C-alpha cells in the first residue's frame, strides 16, 4: 500500500494543491458575496451629502439587515437566509422578518391605503395577540410589497417630490409626465445609471421593451401594468465594472442584484426576455437567469439641491425595542409598548 504521507508531499500533489488554491482564491475574488456587497455599501460616499447617497445608504442598510442576499451577474441566486413572512430574526438579532415587511408598509405611508385588503389593518399594531399577527402575516404574504419598499426607502431618504405608491407603474408614469418628479424616464440601453436611479422591468405578458413602454404611456394604456423596480446603490465602485441594485420582495427578501457595465458605464449585455421563452430546466442551466427580464425603463434621478445634512440612519444593529424579545434580553434593548386597539376596532364593537 502506498504511503499516504509521501503521496501528499509529492511535487505533483503540491503543485496541484497550489494551483487549486490559487484558482479558488481567484474565484472568491471575482464572485460577489455578502462580504463584497458590504464593501460596496461601505464605499458609498456620504460627503458631500446628496439624495443619491442617502437613497443608496438606506437601501444598502436594508439589504444588510436581511443578511445580504444577492443575485450574481449570471442571474443566479447566490445567497438567501430568510424569507419575508418567517418568524426568523434578521441580522439585528431582534426584528422578525415579517415585522420588517410590515414596517415597509407603515414607513412608506401606504398602509392606510391598503385597509380594504384583509389583514392590512392588523399590521398597524404590535403583536398583542396571535390572531392579528396571523392576519397581518397573511396580508404580507398575499400582497406584493416591492413598490412599498421603494417608497419606504425614498421616504426615509427624504427625497423631495417623490410620490409613494404601491404600484411601480406610478413611479414610471410620474417620471414620464410630471415635471415636478425627482425622476426622468430614460432608456436603460442608452443611459448611464448612477446611485439613486431606478431600473425597472415589466412582469409577464409579451415583452415590449423601452420603446413599447413609451408608446403605451403616450396612449394612456399603461394603467395597471405589472412592473418591478430595483434601486441602484452603486455603479462601477472602485472601477470594478459592475452595477449594484437593491430591490424589495425579490425572491422573498431585500435582495441585491449585480449587473455588468461596459467601459462607458452603460449596462452591458442586459439579459432580455423574448417572445419565445427560454427553456429553463435541469440540464439547460445556462438558460436560467433571474436577470433575464423585460427591462423597459431607467428612472434617472434629476440633479437636486443637496440635503441640509447627512442622513440620520437608525442603528439597525441595536434595536431600541422589541415585541418578540430574545432571552436573555440584551442590556441595550427594551420591550416595545403594547398598542391597544381603538374602541371602534374591538371585537363586538357597535361603533360605526
pLDDT of residue 330: 56
Q: What is the pLDDT of residues 157-187, one digit of tens each?
A: 999 999 999 999 999 999 999 999 999 999 9
pLDDT 10s digits, 232-268 = 999 999 899 999 999 999 999 999 999 999 999 999 9
Residue 327 banded pLDDT, cuts 50, 70, 90: low
* pLDDT of res. 314: 55
Percent of the chain with pLDDT over 90: 57
Could you tell me which residue, 39 or 156, shows the higher pLDDT?
Answer: 156
Task: Return the percentage of the chain with pLDDT > 70, whole number.
Answer: 75
Give the chain's mean pLDDT: 81
Look at residue 339 in the predicted model and tell me its pLDDT: 36
3-state secondary structure the chain: CCCHHHHHHCHHHHHHHHHHHHHHHHHHHHCCCHHHHHHHHHCCCCCCCCHHHHHHHHHHHHHHHCCCCEECCCCCEEECCCCCCCCCECCCCCCEHHHHHHHHHHHHCCHHHHCCCCCCHHHHCCCCCHHHHHHHHHHHHHCCCHHHHHHHHHHHHCCCCCCCCCCHHHHHHHHHHCCCCCEEEECCCCCCCCCCCEEEEECCCCCCHHHHHHHHHHHCCCCCCCEEEEEEEEECHHHCCEEEEEECCCCCCCEEEEEEECCCCCECCCCECCCCCCCCCCCCHHHCCCCCEEEEEEEEECCCCCCCCCCCCCCCCCCCEECCCCCCCCCCCEECCCCCCCHHHCCCCCCC
- pTM confidence score: 0.78
Amino acid at each position: 500500500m502506498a504511503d499516504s504521507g509521501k503521496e501528499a508531499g509529492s511535487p505533483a500533489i503540491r503543485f496541484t494543491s497550489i494551483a487549486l488554491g490559487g484558482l479558488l482564491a481567484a474565484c472568491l475574488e471575482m464572485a460577489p458575496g455578502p462580504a463584497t456587497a458590504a464593501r460596496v455599501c461601505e464605499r458609498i460616499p456620504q460627503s458631500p451629502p446628496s439624495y443619491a447617497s442617502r437613497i443608496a445608504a438606506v437601501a444598502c442598510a436594508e439589504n444588510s439587515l436581511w443578511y445580504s442576499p444577492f443575485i450574481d451577474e449570471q442571474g443566479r441566486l447566490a445567497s438567501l437566509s430568510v424569507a419575508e413572512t418567517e418568524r426568523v430574526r434578521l441580522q439585528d438579532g431582534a426584528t422578525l422578518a415579517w415585522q420588517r415587511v410590515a414596517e415597509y408598509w407603515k414607513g412608506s405611508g401606504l398602509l392606510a391605503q391598503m385597509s380594504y385588503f384583509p389583514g392590512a389593518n392588523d399590521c398597524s399594531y404590535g403583536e398583542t395577540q396571535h390572531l392579528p399577527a396571523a392576519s397581518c402575516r397573511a396580508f404580507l404574504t398575499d400582497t406584493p410589497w416591492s413598490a412599498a419598499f421603494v417608497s419606504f426607502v425614498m421616504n426615509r431618504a427624504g427625497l423631495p417630490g417623490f410620490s409613494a405608491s404601491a404600484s411601480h407603474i406610478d413611479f414610471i408614469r410620474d417620471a414620464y409626465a410630471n415635471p415636478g418628479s425627482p425622476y426622468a424616464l430614460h432608456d436603460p440601453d442608452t443611459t448611464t445609471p448612477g446611485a439613486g436611479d431606478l431600473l425597472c422591468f415589466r412582469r409577464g405578458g409579451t415583452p415590449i421593451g423601452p420603446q413599447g413602454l413609451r408608446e403605451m404611456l403616450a396612449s394612456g394604456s399603461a394603467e395597471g401594468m405589472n412592473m418591478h423596480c430595483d434601486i441602484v446603490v452603486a455603479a462601477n465602485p472602485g472601477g470594478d465594472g459592475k452595477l449594484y441594485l437593491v430591490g424589495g420582495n425579490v425572491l422573498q427578501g431585500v435582495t441585491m442584484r449585480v449587473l455588468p457595465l461596459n467601459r462607458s458605464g452603460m449596462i452591458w449585455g442586459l439579459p432580455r426576455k423574448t417572445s419565445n421563452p427560454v427553456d429553463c430546466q435541469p440540464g439547460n442551466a445556462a438558460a436560467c437567469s433571474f436577470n433575464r427580464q423585460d427591462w423597459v425603463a431607467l428612472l434617472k434621478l434629476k440633479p437636486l439641491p443637496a440635503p441640509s445634512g447627512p442622513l440620520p440612519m437608525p442603528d439597525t444593529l441595536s434595536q431600541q425595542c422589541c415585541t418578540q424579545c430574545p432571552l436573555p434580553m440584551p442590556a441595550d434593548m427594551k420591550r416595545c409598548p403594547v398598542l391597544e386597539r381603538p374602541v371602534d376596532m374591538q371585537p363586538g364593537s357597535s361603533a360605526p
